[in-house]
A and B are shown apart, each in its own frame.
Chain A
Amino acid sequence: MQKQLHLTSGNLMQPHLTLRTMTGAQILIDCLKREGVEVMFGYPGGSVLPIFDKLYDSDIRFILTRHEQGAAHAADGYARATGKVGVCLATSGPGATNLTTGIANAYMDSIPVVAITGQVKTFLIGNDAFQEADVTGVTRPITKHNYLVKEAEDLARIIREAFLIASTGRPGPVLVDIPVDIQQKDIEFIWPEEVHVRGYKPTLFGHPGQIKKAVKLLTKAKKPIFYVGGGTITSGAHQELKELAERLKVPVTWTLMGAGAFPGTHELALGMLGMHGTAYANHATMEADLIISVGARFDDRVTGRLDSFAPYAKIIHIDIDPSSISKNVKVDIPIVGDARNILGQLQEEIKDTPDTQEWLKTISTWKKKYPLMYKDEGKIKPQYVIEQIYEATHGEAIITTEVGQNQMWSCQWYQYDHPRTFISSGGLGTMGFGFPAAMGAKVGRPEKEVFDIAGDGSIQMNIQELATCVANKIHVKVAILNNGYLGMVRQWQELFYKKRYSYTTLYNPDFVKLAESYGAVGIRVTKKEEVRPAIEKALSVENTVFIDFQIEPEENVYPMVPAGEAINRMIGGMA
């Protein structure tokens, strides 16, 4: 398993022909510019003062968040919305440890983020200096790779490697910890045109033999489905997926991370599968004779009970990370490589298409029999709110979510036709992600409407970023589905803990006044007929807007597969 990688191009400027001396901090800023960084999110502090002094003169846009966690999530949201590397910056000790939730979040969802942290002076490391923490130690299991810069001469190469590693293969966060004295040191700046990371060589194309085997299975399948995840979006394979699915007439289901990889309104779309997936997606998965997995990892929220998952299916697993293959589910044909390349290879290799007419008929029957639904009566229904946001934005907004019921309803009731328009904390399930992520997404895609669909619990976990939004004119819209509960936990308590609502009732601030106190706009909605006008108003206002939707307090997310059950054993009157 010999690995190595050479890298030459990139979006780089011409190298300097003459050498010049610069401080480490200036070298860092110069390297970031050369890597194409236009914006950074972060927070200053003692150990990054030299960097901030250079930022003062730089044309890199710096967005001062109100908490380092907000900066990490914003960099993550920026990366997801644009496909570029998101960059965040924090000081040593508490600044760095505050980034960690955001870094872990990016790691679980394979998002390219470069986190730069200050560190105490090299000769103080290990002495329990003021604001010292072993940041490379803390972040080792939650980064794709990390560096402690011990020599200023290594800084440029390390920054170059950090961007390479973060953005290629299965992307992920890379942290670079830079001691203050390295930032201050004057050295000759040499830009490494090429970097060579001996132990790093992602496989990009599928093995031709495996492609042939996969095509053989595909051609004779009677009940095939595509099961697609975040890797499809990362590799930019949405067009190839659509062409292949349409040519073969194979229906497509997706994971939470895969929403937007295939048009949600397409006739071959099955919606999301798994714990809160559509009944027809789950039935199709359980009845399928072939599953073609593209950039997904058979997570427990998808498979439910493992030993009864997809009992009739052969599995083709396309993934750039070999360790994802056969980790949870035994795979018949693994194909390691970039999803976009491999779908292209399959397209070329396929001569005959399978006959899926009967299969599509069966699926169409399930779709009619078990549609997603809710009872539109009583107080405002959260599903209705999301449907109205969908209509008002013509399905063209970027939606971010928090975690819990708001997240699941956002998957079910908004149709995502384009990649990078649904941004949510999939793997780590981080409450407080959606608002700063929306901020990052809006910075990266200012022409888009960006809505954070939030719960009254989650929004309070990074609510301080209201100041950042208003101060920097980042006009995101926040729909708070306010039920006065930690809704998803309450739902589990209702269903599995005899309605003993242990510490899930929330005392909340007045969200309207709160928004107004920051200089944002607050709107309260208590009646169904006010829902649409409130959304229209939010869209027309040139400001950050909080809409406090006072929804049915005990509305549940259905369908639902109880944890550890087979995914066709759904509850909620659907199947």
Chain B
Amino acid sequence: MRHTISVLVENKFGVLARVAGLFSARGYNIASLAVSETLDPAISYMTIVVDAKDENVLEQIKKQLNKLIDVISITDFTKKEHVERELALIKVKCSVKEKPKIENVLHKYVGKIIQHKQETAIIEAVGDQHQIKSLLTDLQPFGIKELIRTGRIAITH
């Protein structure tokens, strides 16, 4: 099962390597990872989506992360009210004729065409994983040429 956890870490060189190394050394799988500075530039914020086969594995992941000296605190979003978002950039085939149809699809989502050139549109969409997945299904018929997604980020209420 996939879980979203966030990790506040010291903003020092090598911290990402420590976190990534911990996952690989102990055989845990990272599904996505997003790292950024916080309001305090000395602290970074990592949002990690992990595959954990059961509660015990998730518990171990959290405990092992917490053992890293550069880790300040950990939030597990699994049982917390929270909002999750990811950003997708999607390149689709789009003739002038099809453009209104695509725009019509996008009405249901937080998304828009940000560039349209030579029969190709670049769409920017924001949403949780289900919304992005659903959007991709809806865009499939037009022909998706390329897809780039950020890792998931999350915030508690």
User: CB distance B72 to A198 under 8 Å?
Assistant: yes
Which residues of B in the span 45-66 have a Cβ within 8 Å of any Cβ on A? 56, 59-60, 62-64, 66
User: B64 — which chain A residues lie within 8 A by C-beta?
Assistant: 323
Which residues of B in the span 32-54 have a Cβ within 8 Å of any Cβ on A? none
Whether A141 touches B73, Cβ cut-off 8 Å, given contacts A1-B66, A322-B66, A327-B60, is no
Q: Name the residue of chain B whose CB is nearest to the CB of A2.
A: B73
B88 within 8 A of A: no
User: CB distance A199 to B71 under 8 Å?
Assistant: yes
A124 within 8 A of B: no
User: CB distance A321 to B69 under 8 Å?
Assistant: no
A10 within 8 A of B: no
Whether A140 touches B72, Cβ cut-off 8 Å, given contacts A322-B63, A327-B60, is no
A130 within 8 A of B: no
Nearest-neighbour CB distance to chain A for B59, whole angstroms, equals: 7
User: CB distance A197 to B69 under 8 Å?
Assistant: yes
Q: Please, what's the 1-or-0 string for B108-140, where 1 marks a CB less than 8 Å from any CB in chain A?
A: 000000000000000000000000000000000
B18 within 8 A of A: yes
User: A323 — which chain B residues lie within 8 A by C-beta?
Assistant: 60, 63-64, 66-67
B70 within 8 A of A: yes
User: A148 — which chain B residues lie within 8 A by C-beta?
Assistant: 13-14
Which residues of A in the span 285-330 have a Cβ within 8 Å of any Cβ on B? 321-323, 326-327
Q: Name the residue of chain B whose CB is nearest to the CB of A161.
A: B69
A200 within 8 A of B: yes
User: CB distance B63 to A3 under 8 Å?
Assistant: no
| B17 partner, pick from A140, A165, A199, A200, beta carbons under 8 A | A140
Nearest-neighbour CB distance to chain A for B142, whole angstroms, equals: 46
B21 within 8 A of A: yes
User: CB distance A3 to B21 under 8 Å?
Assistant: no
A381 within 8 A of B: no
User: A136 — which chain B residues lie within 8 A by C-beta?
Assistant: 14
Nearest-neighbour CB distance to chain B for A394, whole angstroms, equals: 41
User: CB distance B59 to A199 under 8 Å?
Assistant: no
B74 within 8 A of A: yes
Q: What is the number of contacts between chain A and chain B, taking CB atoms within 8 Å?
A: 46
A442 within 8 A of B: no
B148 within 8 A of A: no
User: CB distance B10 to A198 under 8 Å?
Assistant: yes
User: CB distance A140 to B18 under 8 Å?
Assistant: yes
Nearest-neighbour CB distance to chain A for B141, whole angstroms, equals: 47
Q: Name the residue of chain B whose CB is nearest to the CB of A327.
A: B60
For chain B, give the interface size range.
20 to 34
User: CB distance A199 to B63 under 8 Å?
Assistant: no
Nearest-neighbour CB distance to chain A for B3, whole angstroms, equals: 15
B68 within 8 A of A: yes
User: A145 — which chain B residues lie within 8 A by C-beta?
Assistant: 69
User: B71 — which chain A residues lie within 8 A by C-beta?
Assistant: 199
Nearest-neighbour CB distance to chain A for B27, whole angstroms, equals: 13
User: CB distance A199 to B10 under 8 Å?
Assistant: yes
User: CB distance B73 to A3 under 8 Å?
Assistant: yes
User: CB distance B72 to A199 under 8 Å?
Assistant: yes
Nearest-neighbour CB distance to chain A for B74, whole angstroms, equals: 5
B1 within 8 A of A: no
User: B13 — which chain A residues lie within 8 A by C-beta?
Assistant: 148
Nearest-neighbour CB distance to chain A for B46, whole angstroms, equals: 13
User: CB distance A3 to B72 under 8 Å?
Assistant: yes
A249 within 8 A of B: no
User: A141 — which chain B residues lie within 8 A by C-beta?
Assistant: 21-22, 25
Nearest-neighbour CB distance to chain A for B71, whole angstroms, equals: 5
In the assembled complex, the Cα of A323 lies from the Cα of B63 at a distance in Å of 5
A144 within 8 A of B: yes
User: A2 — which chain B residues lie within 8 A by C-beta?
Assistant: 72-73
In the assembled complex, the Cα of A465 lies from the Cα of B62 at a distance in Å of 42
User: B73 — which chain A residues lie within 8 A by C-beta?
Assistant: 1-3, 199
Whether A165 touches B69, Cβ cut-off 8 Å, given contacts A199-B10, A323-B64, A327-B60, is yes
A509 within 8 A of B: no
Q: Name the residue of chain B whose CB is nearest to the CB of A165.
A: B69
In the assembled complex, the Cα of A197 lies from the Cα of B74 at a distance in Å of 16
In the assembled complex, the Cα of A199 lies from the Cα of B12 at a distance in Å of 13
In the assembled complex, the Cα of A2 lies from the Cα of B72 at a distance in Å of 6
User: CB distance B66 to A326 under 8 Å?
Assistant: no
In the assembled complex, the Cα of A379 lies from the Cα of B120 at a distance in Å of 87
User: CB distance B69 to A326 under 8 Å?
Assistant: no
User: B62 — which chain A residues lie within 8 A by C-beta?
Assistant: 1
Nearest-neighbour CB distance to chain A for B43, whole angstroms, equals: 9
In the assembled complex, the Cα of A148 lies from the Cα of B18 at a distance in Å of 14
User: CB distance B68 to A199 under 8 Å?
Assistant: yes
User: CB distance B60 to A199 under 8 Å?
Assistant: no
Q: Name the residue of chain A whose CB is nearest to the CB of B64.
A: A323
User: CB distance B69 to A199 under 8 Å?
Assistant: yes
In the assembled complex, the Cα of A148 lies from the Cα of B67 at a distance in Å of 19
Whether A3 touches B66, Cβ cut-off 8 Å, given contacts A326-B59, A327-B60, is yes
A137 within 8 A of B: yes
In the assembled complex, the Cα of A321 lies from the Cα of B68 at a distance in Å of 12
User: B66 — which chain A residues lie within 8 A by C-beta?
Assistant: 1, 3, 322-323
In the assembled complex, the Cα of A3 lies from the Cα of B62 at a distance in Å of 14
User: CB distance A140 to B69 under 8 Å?
Assistant: no
User: B21 — which chain A residues lie within 8 A by C-beta?
Assistant: 140-141
In the assembled complex, the Cα of A140 lies from the Cα of B70 at a distance in Å of 12
In the assembled complex, the Cα of A76 lies from the Cα of B65 at a distance in Å of 26
Nearest-neighbour CB distance to chain B for A431, whole angstroms, equals: 23
Nearest-neighbour CB distance to chain B for A18, whole angstroms, equals: 31
Q: Please, what's the 1-or-0 string for A186-216, where 1 marks a CB less than 8 Å from any CB in chain B?
A: 0000000000011110000000000000000
User: B67 — which chain A residues lie within 8 A by C-beta?
Assistant: 321, 323
Q: Name the residue of chain A whose CB is nearest to the CB of B18.
A: A140
Q: Name the residue of chain B whose CB is nearest to the CB of A145.
A: B69
Nearest-neighbour CB distance to chain B for A423, whole angstroms, equals: 25
Q: Name the residue of chain B whose CB is nearest to the CB of A172.
A: B67
User: CB distance A144 to B69 under 8 Å?
Assistant: yes
In the assembled complex, the Cα of A165 lies from the Cα of B67 at a distance in Å of 11
In the assembled complex, the Cα of A323 lies from the Cα of B65 at a distance in Å of 9
28 A-B Cβ contacts within 8 A? A1-B62, A2-B72, A2-B73, A3-B72, A3-B73, A140-B14, A140-B17, A140-B18, A140-B21, A141-B22, A141-B25, A144-B69, A145-B69, A148-B14, A165-B69, A199-B10, A199-B69, A199-B70, A200-B69, A321-B67, A322-B63, A323-B60, A323-B63, A323-B64, A323-B66, A323-B67, A326-B59, A327-B60
Instruction: State the 10 A-B residue pairs at the shortest beta-carbon distance, nearest first.
Output: A323-B63, A145-B69, A199-B72, A141-B25, A322-B63, A199-B71, A2-B73, A1-B74, A200-B69, A1-B73
Question: Apart from A199-B10, A199-B68, A199-B70, what are 4 other A-B pairs with CB-CB below 8 Å?
Answer: A141-B25, A199-B72, A199-B73, A200-B69
